[in-house]
Amino acid sequence: MASRKVVGTGVRDLISSLPDEVLGNILSLVPTKLAASTSVLSKRWKHSLSLVNILDFDDSMLFYPNKVTDLPRTCFFDFVDNTLALLVNSQVKKFTLKCRHNLDTSRVDRWIRTVLERGILELHLTSHEDHCIDSEFFTSKTLINLTLSHGFYLEEGGCLPNGSVFFPALKTLTLIATGYGADYMFDALISGCPVLEELFIRYGDGPHGSDWIMVVSGQSIKRLTISSGFSTEELEFDRTSVLFQTPSLLFLDYSGYVQEHYTVDFSSLLEARLDLRLWESPIESNFDYENDVDVDGFGDATILVLGLSNVTTLHLSSHSLEVLHSCCSFIPLFSNLTDLSFESDEKQGWQVLPVLLKNSPILETLVIKSLVHKVTAKCGDMCACILKNKEEEECCLWRCQVKVLDIRGYGGSCKELKQMGHFFKKLKRLEIVKVGVQQESNNNGEYLRVTNDLMKLPRVSSKCHIQFYAAHR
Amino acid sequence: MSKKIILISSDGQSFEVDEAVARECGTIKNAIEDKCTDNGIPLANVTSATLAKVIEYCKKHVEAAAKASAGDKDIYGSNEDIELKTWDDDFVKVDQPLLFDIILAANYLDVPGLLDLTCQTVADMMRGKTPDEIRTIFHIKKDYTPEEEAAVREENAWAFM
């Protein structure tokens, strides 16, 4: 064991006596700037930067942001150059670059080429300013994880690498607000990653992310997340078709405004999360919410929902409930669905739920985030808001096979209590009811009242048993 | 009935553990496969206090892995992962001497998860700190002359801005 340095009061400097490889592990987990600054700690640390195998450069990171400095801008670029030179013989596994300020484009190009040539595994690039990557040399046999964010993009019409193969080993690709609108380079990139398994796209945040080609075609993709920023800027209505050609897809998380046409291949899909929203023109609303009349709106999600009908697990946002109600000409049979969860809020109604439950014959688990919803005449027998005639045989809940009911975020109001009473009276197969009670910090009296009220409700299922837990908002 | 392995710390204390737990340590796994475990495995570099912590970690993670493969996945992602993460966060709330002893033990015994966890803990202690603050936290004594220090700072100027 190396001898330990003793300082002053007998408190020991243990970190300096760690072996190089362990110190290298630790320094690889902090920003490279910090790792480099440890060279000044003591002589043992002089060459600490050479021990790292992960590089993380962020040009906006400053120890002393208020200190006026007359060091030139090239300082940052020199730092990256020096570090890459220092590690020329090391196996650098991961390279992250975040640029908020002006770029020296030729140096950035050189860095990208250098790390790709050195057999890197992960590359993450973010830039505030636009930087066009030289696509012809944007290739590596070892890269498994790539992120292009904001300013970094590939030029439409640029040369492709040899054989059109960008990254033969890439498993994960993340594109954040890179603005691939109407271009084939996006498609070329996806096709050029033949073993891609996970694709994450973030779009619709404003200028950089306003466009996404709305096509995903990948034979090997297993997990797909398409996340929309729901920008309220005027949409370009000339692109209204969405194509998902993803036969190996197991998991889909899709958010976006409802479009007019969908073409999908989700033949392997097991789980889907959906947050579809209606585009609401700020000028005039096309929807007659007051009378809940189905007015001809923008968008038809029928094919999309049909494509999802073989999943075993489905999550719907509150907006999606509204979209399924007003933008689907029919709700398909969900013959494999065992787990359904949805969220509600006071602006969206539950009109689609009766038919959704009727069409889910083997549903076992129902998770509801918030019972509060917009009261409409068409919630049907799903909810207890409006008094019905005594035609209980037709209630969608009678035939429901649900065994587990989980209410996340229960406030204990009268309306919610009535709703719970309705569930207890109708769900014949209920075995476990989990209730996540929303708690005000120290109001135990309130908590007891809420839980007691629920425990007193009559239950049609003799096996039904209630568990309470604390819910966070 | 699972086989038990005996681990002996540097200060002579014996710990009896399930084979599955012992196998979380790469070096012990190799010893088991080379069949040299009959009289217990002496670990000259690991004190009893440290070994107890390493065993605690391995046990918890073996249990968590068994639960994960047996149970059904919760619909909003696995609750188990959050529980395990919270357990890990509490596990590393120890003083520096013990933390560094665990790091060295995890390195010597080859327990990758524990090494990653403890290295991450140290990295988190360093984040956002200036060199002076780091010296204070870890009791590092400066041994550069002013000229030597100035030279080091100039070499990587941006690192000190």
Distance of residue B20 Cα from the nearest chain A Cα, in angstroms: 26
Quote the pLDDT of residue A281: 58
* Mean pLDDT rounded to a whole number for chain A: 86
Task: For strands A251-257 and A223-228, give the pairing.
Answer: parallel
Quick check: B139 and A339 CB within 8 A? no
In B21-40, the residues whose Cβ lies within 8 Å of chain A are none
Task: For strands A198-203 and A223-228, give the pairing.
Answer: parallel
- Where residue A294 falls among pLDDT bands split at 50, 70, 90? very low
Which residues on A lie below 8 Å from B157 (Cβ)? 71, 75, 78-79
Distance of residue B130 Cα from the nearest chain A Cα, in angstroms: 7
State the CB neighbour count (10 A cutoff) for residue A392.
12
pLDDT in tens, A445-455: 888 888 888 89
Quote the pLDDT of residue A112: 94
Residue A71 predicted with pLDDT over 70: no
pLDDT in tens, A356-414: 999 999 999 999 998 888 877 777 777 776 655 555 556 778 788 899 999 998 888 88
Which residues on A lie below 8 Å from B161 (Cβ)? 62-64, 67, 69, 71, 75
Is the CB of B145 inside 8 Å of chain A's CB atoms?
no
- Where residue A438 falls among pLDDT bands split at 50, 70, 90? confident
- Where residue A283 falls among pLDDT bands split at 50, 70, 90? very low
Is the CB of B2 inside 8 Å of chain A's CB atoms?
no
CA distance B91 to B2: 26
Instruction: Pick A72 or B38 by higher pLDDT.
Output: B38
Please tell me which of the candidates B122, B126, B143 has its beta carbon nearest to residue A42.
Answer: B143
Is the CB of B54 inside 8 Å of chain A's CB atoms?
no
Is the CB of B82 inside 8 Å of chain A's CB atoms?
no
**pTM for the complete prediction?**
0.87
* Long-range contact pairs involving A455-461 (C-beta distance under 8 Å, separation at least 24): A457/A417, A457/A420, A457/A421, A457/A424, A458/A421, A458/A424, A458/A425, A459/A424, A459/A425, A459/A430, A460/A424, A460/A425, A460/A426, A460/A427, A460/A428, A460/A430, A461/A424, A461/A427, A461/A428, A461/A429, A461/A430, A461/A431
Residues A32, A56: contact at Cβ < 8 Å? yes
Quick check: B161 and A40 CB within 8 A? no
Residues A221, A242: contact at Cβ < 8 Å? no
pLDDT in tens, A158-199: 888 988 999 999 999 999 988 776 678 888 999 999 999 999
Residues A143, A123: contact at Cβ < 8 Å? yes
* Mean pLDDT rounded to a whole number for chain B: 89
Quick check: B119 and A29 CB within 8 A? yes
- Please list, in sequence order, all residues whose beta carbon lies within 8 angstroms of the beta carbon of residue A356, skipping any fewer than 6 positions away: A324, A331, A334, A340
Quick check: A26 and B161 CB within 8 A? no
Residue A92 predicted with pLDDT over 50: yes
Task: For strands A465-471 and A432-438, give the pairing.
Answer: parallel
H/E segment holding residue B102:
helix B96-109
H helix and E strand count, chain A:
10, 20
Please tell me which of the candidates B104, B126, B149 has its beta carbon nearest to residue A30.
Answer: B126
- When pLDDT is averaged across residues A92-114 and rounded to a whole number, the result is 90
- Where residue A253 falls among pLDDT bands split at 50, 70, 90? very high
Residue A1 predicted with pLDDT over 70: no
Residue A237 predicted with pLDDT over 60: no
